[in-house]
Amino acid sequence: MGGYVMKTPLEGVLIAMLVSAVIPALAAQANTVDEKYEKWQLKRLFNPDQRQLSHEQAGMVFIYDSLKSKDVDRVMTEQFHRLNSMMFIGTIITDEKGKPLVNPETGLAMIEDDGC
């Protein structure tokens, strides 16, 4: 079986440096995508365009994924008249300031159980 064998300790250091530089860059890119997706969903919720409203009036339901519970609570008061056109899954539980609550055992954000 083939593979690369490091010839000097310096190679291991260089590989470790490369990996330590690449992984945070990939994580930052993923966070940017997540932020853009979240902003897009929030725009749909609180500033829908006429086309979206027409689709909703025709019976279309949009599934919102991984929004913060503080935003879903806001929807319940500000957009209640549109709730029949919305479904929320994977809602991230937040504290009163909107900061995600973290499961102490896993270190991951706590997600509401949607029963599915």
State the 10-residue block means of pLDDT for the chain, 116 residues long: 57 58 49 76 95 94 92 94 93 90 88 76
pLDDT at res. 35: 84
User: What does pTM read for this prediction?
Assistant: 0.67
Our measurement of the distance from residue 103's CA atom to the centroid of its chain's CA atoms, rounded to an integer in Å, reads 16
- Quick one: pLDDT at residue 96? 87
31 with 5: CB under 8 angstroms? no
